[in-house]
Amino acid sequence: MERFWRFSIFFLLFLVTFARNPCRQRVYPDTATGAAIGCVCNASYCDDFDDVGNITKDAFVLFLSSRDGNRMDRIDYHFTAFPNVSDTITIDFGKRFQKVLGFGGAITDSVGVNLRKLSQATSDQLINQYYGKAGIGYRLTRTVVASADFSTHVYSYNDVDQDFDMKNFNLTQEDYLYKIPYIKQALSLSKANGIDLKLFCTAWAPPGWMKSNGKMEGGAKMKGSTDGPYYKAYATYYKRFFEEYHKEGIDYWGMTPTNEPLEGRNADYKFQVVNFEAEDERDFIKYHLGPMLQENDFTKNISLLIGDENRYAFPDFADTILGDPMAAPYVSGFAYHWYADEGIPPDVIDQTIQKHPGYINLYTEACAGWHDYELSPVMGDWGRADLYAHNIIEDMSHGVQGWVDWNLVLDSQGGPNWVQNFVDAPIIANFTADEFIKQPMFYILAHFSKFVLPDYTRIGFVSPDLNLEGLAFLSTDQTKRVVMLHNQDSQNGHSYTLQDTGNTLRFANLYLPPSSFTTLIYNM
């Protein structure tokens, strides 16, 4: 009888605390690990996870995802007076670092093309995963000004040669079909959740007639001198873009002067690009873009982030642009991409921050499966979740304040992409079944976006070994701790004891499964 009651009480608590839709697993063949698990969602079903709720002072909560199938699974524990093991993770409450800006992804033409191929209900379900009530609460969203490689073709907003005043500027079908509706949906869902979604944008290239090679694709500089009419026209083009989007009710928080400006050194570059050396970007900002953004109320507070380029642009872009007293006042921060991170250590971020403190440091693009030798989407692959986890932890350990993923959703080929530059994404759409699959990468982003909120402060984290890497954050009201734990060991689980310098009399005893990612939350 006693057992029955204990069981019933447990079961009731279970229902109340743990009511959720679990991941509907689809297991894909994976020669490396044997298990590659995707979570399948459709118009009527998608996995979600529990709210954190109130955590009592002696309790802590874990959310666990793992290669072997956990997906944001909640486990409730209590602190104990004794450590189980000697491997101690130390959370150093006294050490304070950067404040968090947020996490997000991008709405490209390809994202819109894919969403439109799903039924309305499935498309809504998908958008809800990122912005809806049961979603992961993205705070940042990047969009593309005109076309990128993740478009079905090349286009600009004004192909009329020498129309420096942008008299023939016009948005395109792509804006009305693939971008504006989804940006609006993301904004309104966010708003309903009390989230002020920050939008930022950039162009991959100006219209071809402004470039010395006469076309949007292929590496080349713009025509003429940096204080001349072509550079000015590119700024006017942006100004007109913001005006047209403003008419649609869409205002931007931020922008970058142009996407990946150093790739434009390569004349054979396959897709839209323009070469801005740091000096070109500096002059573009000081002569044209900076002053022009001041002309409209809805653009004058735009956060201008420089670079939008791999680590190798730093600290040079920051030094060169901020070194000019006429350009510097227009700049709010630095935008990094992850595509050279394997070869360039994060020291360049440290140097940039050390030399130029007080600026925003944001990762603005990353995706897996981009190397030529890799498959584009790999269904259910945990290795790519590891890459995301490791990179976010590394970047934030070096002062980065937020991390923005690339396409919200791609098709099973990793596109569409007009130059077949196919890559992976956290969500892959499956049109034949009107469903979508949430990849392991999605859950890494979920762990961060859901629990590490804007204005949280990073605090000290010390790992006892090389298998485990992590981060710790302090909530805005200084009460809550959010700890991220990445067990990189693919063979073994590990037991740890976690101790917080804010209260050294209690211990959190943890077991972290092989290849897993855990968020731990507690109060002081």
Ligand X SMILES: *[C@@H]1O[C@H](CO)[C@@H](O)[C@H](O)[C@H]1NC(C)=O
Task: Based on the shown chain and the rule CB under 6 A, indicate whether residue 86 belongs to the binding site for ligand X.
Answer: no
Tokens of 514: 């092989």
Q: Residue 130: which of 48, 224, 251, 7 has the closest Cα?
A: 48
- Asked if residues 182 and 448 have their Cβ atoms less than 8 Å apart, the reply is no
Per CB under 6 A, which region of 89-97, 342-350, 425-433, 446-454 contacts ligand X?
425-433
Per the listing, tokens 């007080």 go with: 358
Task: Pick the closer one to ligand X by CB: 87 or 316.
Answer: 87
DSSP conformational letter for 512: E
Query: Nearer to ligand X by C-beta: 54 or 491?
Result: 54
Kindly state the smallest distance separating residue 497's Cβ from ligand X, in Å: 8
Please report whether residue 2 would count as binding ligand X according to CB under 6 A. no
By the rule CB under 6 A, 433 interacts with ligand X: yes
DSSP 392: H
Q: Which residue type occupies 477?
A: D
Among 379, 389, 453, 474, binds ligand X (CB under 6 A): 379
What is the DSSP code string of 79-123? Answer: -BSS-SSS-EEEEEEEEEEEEP-EEEEEE-HHHHHHHHHS-HHHH
Q: Residue 369 — left, alpha, or beta (φ > 0 → left; ψ -120 to 50 → alpha)? A: left
Nearer of residues 96 and 176 to ligand X, judged by Cβ: 176
The least distance separating ligand X from the CB of residue 239, rounded to whole angstroms, comes to: 15
What is the C-alpha separation between 368 and 45, in angstroms, rounded?
Answer: 26
> Is residue 430 part of the contact set for ligand X (CB under 6 A)?
yes
- Ranges within 279-298 binding ligand X (CB under 6 A): 297-298
* 108, 148 contact by CB (below 8 A): yes
- The residues near 420 (Cβ < 8 Å, ≥ 6 apart) are none
Q: Which of 22, 25, 26, 374 binds ligand X (CB under 6 A)?
A: 26
**Residue type at position 251:** D
**Cα–Cα–Cα angle for 205, 355, 474, nearest 5°?**
90
Q: Is residue 376 a contact point for ligand X (CB under 6 A)? A: no
Helices (H), 278-428: 278-283, 290-293, 316-322, 347-355, 382-397
Rounded-to-integer distance, Cα 37 and Cα 440, Å: 8
Does the CA dihedral 346-350-355-356 come out positive or negative? positive
Binding window for ligand X (CB under 6 A); candidates: 185-193, 331-339, 351-359, 429-437: 429-437
The rounded radius of gyration (Å) of the Cα atoms in the chain is 24
Distance separating alpha carbons of residues 70 and 47, to the nearest angstrom:
12
Q: Does 432 bind ligand X (CB under 6 A)?
A: yes
Nearer to ligand X, 293 or 318 (CB): 293
* Interface with ligand X in residues 456-495 (CB under 6 A): 495
Q: Which is nearer to ligand X, 91 or 313 (CB)?
A: 91
335: tokens are: 């935008």
Query: Which of 154, 437, 484, 521 contacts ligand X by CB under 6 A?
Result: 437
CB of 149 to ligand X, least distance (A): 22
- Residue with smaller CB distance to ligand X, 1 or 54: 54
Kindly list the catalytic residues. 260, 365
User: Strand pairing partners for 471?
Assistant: 484
How far apart are CB 54 and ligand X at their closest, in Å? 4
Please identify, among the stretches 178-186, 225-233, 282-290, 432-440, the one whose residues bind ligand X according to the rule CB under 6 A: 432-440
Kindly tell me which of 24 and 99 has the beta carbon lying closer to ligand X: 24
Q: Minimum distance from CB of 298 to ligand X (Å)? A: 6
Judge contact between 259 and 142, C-beta under 8 A. no
Q: Does 499 bind ligand X (CB under 6 A)?
A: no
20 is a contact residue toward ligand X (CB under 6 A): no
DSSP state of 197: P
CB of 200 to ligand X, least distance (A): 15
Q: For ligand X, what does the binding mask look like between residues 164 and 203, x meaning CB under 6 A? A: ------xx-x--x---------------------------
Rounded to whole angstroms, what are the CA distances from 514 to 67, 386, 485, 491? 8, 11, 12, 6
| Residue 449 CA from chain centroid, whole number | 9
CB of 161 to ligand X, least distance (A): 16
Rule CB under 6 A: say whether 160 interacts with ligand X.
Answer: no
String of contacts with ligand X for each residue 30-49, x by CB under 6 A: ------------x-xx----
When binding is defined by CB under 6 A, the residue of 31, 54, 86, 504 that contacts ligand X is: 54
Name the one range near ligand X by CB under 6 A: 196-204, 341-349, 431-439, 513-521.
431-439
Asked if residues 500 and 34 have their Cβ atoms less than 8 Å apart, the reply is no
Query: Does 446 sit near ligand X (CB under 6 A)?
Result: no
Residue closer to ligand X (CB basis): 343 or 358: 358
Binding site for ligand X (CB under 6 A): 24, 26, 42, 44-45, 53-54, 84, 170-171, 173, 176, 297-298, 301, 379, 412, 430, 432-433, 437, 495, 509-511
